[in-house]
Copies of this chain bind each other. A is one copy, B any other.
């Protein structure tokens, strides 16, 4: 069967996503902040613990992507290539190493949802907006000191998070929370729906050929909102660490199963 994923057909053409490698190019707005470490700890996988250094640090990252399979067909049908996402990142210790982990993420396309499930991202649909820098005219910020950006994410018709950043100066790195290999769960209950699982894995992954450009530090504001279905606001922002804008290119070919229960 040629299909990487469902729907499975002889041609594989219907598959929600083509086989890896997948290539990504995008821009990101990041706000790093400190919350109650207990709120971080309860989102770590079983057996993982808080990091010692800045255990309550969280990154909330907006990303505006183009992505594609290895034949670059989606690039010419951009509705299949472009998507936006917002994701929270926390850190934990497991097996004597430090990991990044995404406990919440919203995207606006089906192919991105399902590709996320393959990688262990717990994706939901959301409505996501983020200001883009401009080079002509007046309707937006330039990539220069003082440039101001806004970013929002809504789910189920309710605002979940809103941020602004104001660029201060070029910098080397867009934050530290999302800097480790990811530690994700991939779990699907058995169809018996009796508490047993058909798949219950701890996995990790990392991209390759990563490229970062136009990294700016920024002052940031952030507000998180509780809704009937979203608990991001439990990661209450007690203190802003910093904001960032940057561009990123990266490819992804596969990950590693750390544990399969």
Is the CB of A168 closer than 8 A to any CB of chain B? no
A152 touches B11 (CB 8 A): no
Query: Among residues 99 to 150 in chain A, which have CB atoms less than 8 Å away from a CB atom of chain B?
Result: 103-105, 109-110, 113, 117-120, 122, 124-125, 127, 129-132, 134-141, 148-150
Which of B6, B26, B124, B136 is close to A122, meaning CB atoms less than 8 Å apart? Answer: B6
B137 touches A14 (CB 8 A): no
B150 touches A75 (CB 8 A): yes
A190 touches B257 (CB 8 A): yes
Contact A211/B154 with A124-B110, A191-B256, A194-B254 known, Cβ cut-off 8 Å? no
Chain A to chain B: the 6 pairs with minimum beta-carbon distance, closest first: A137-B249, A154-B157, A6-B122, A25-B137, A76-B150, A136-B249
Query: Among residues 4 to 44 in chain A, which have CB atoms less than 8 Å away from a CB atom of chain B?
Result: 4-11, 13-14, 16, 19-20, 23-26, 42-43
Is the CB of A179 closer than 8 A to any CB of chain B? no
Contact A192/B75 with A152-B157, A229-B14, A230-B14 known, Cβ cut-off 8 Å? no
Is the CB of A180 closer than 8 A to any CB of chain B? no
Say which size band chain A's interface belongs to: 35 or more
Contacts of A93 in B (CB 8 A): none
CA distance A135 to B25 in the complex (A): 8
Contacts of A136 in B (CB 8 A): 25, 211-213, 247-249
Which of B110, B124, B150 is close to A125, meaning CB atoms less than 8 Å apart? Answer: B110
Identical chains bound together, number: 4
Whole-angstrom distance between the Cβ of A134 and the nearest chain B Cβ:
4
Chain-B contact segment, one of A53-61, A64-72, A169-177, A237-245 = A64-72
Is the CB of A260 closer than 8 A to any CB of chain B? yes
CA distance A81 to B80 in the complex (A): 23
Which of B9, B120, B201 is close to A42, meaning CB atoms less than 8 Å apart? Answer: B9
Is the CB of A79 closer than 8 A to any CB of chain B? yes
A199 touches B188 (CB 8 A): yes
Since A136-B247, A136-B248 are in contact, a sample of 20 more A-B pairs with Cβ atoms closer than 8 Å, ordered by chain A residue number, is: A4-B189, A7-B122, A7-B124, A8-B187, A23-B138, A24-B137, A26-B137, A65-B139, A66-B134, A75-B148, A76-B150, A77-B129, A77-B156, A78-B131, A80-B228, A118-B193, A135-B213, A138-B209, A139-B249, A192-B255
Contacts of A132 in B (CB 8 A): 66, 78, 82
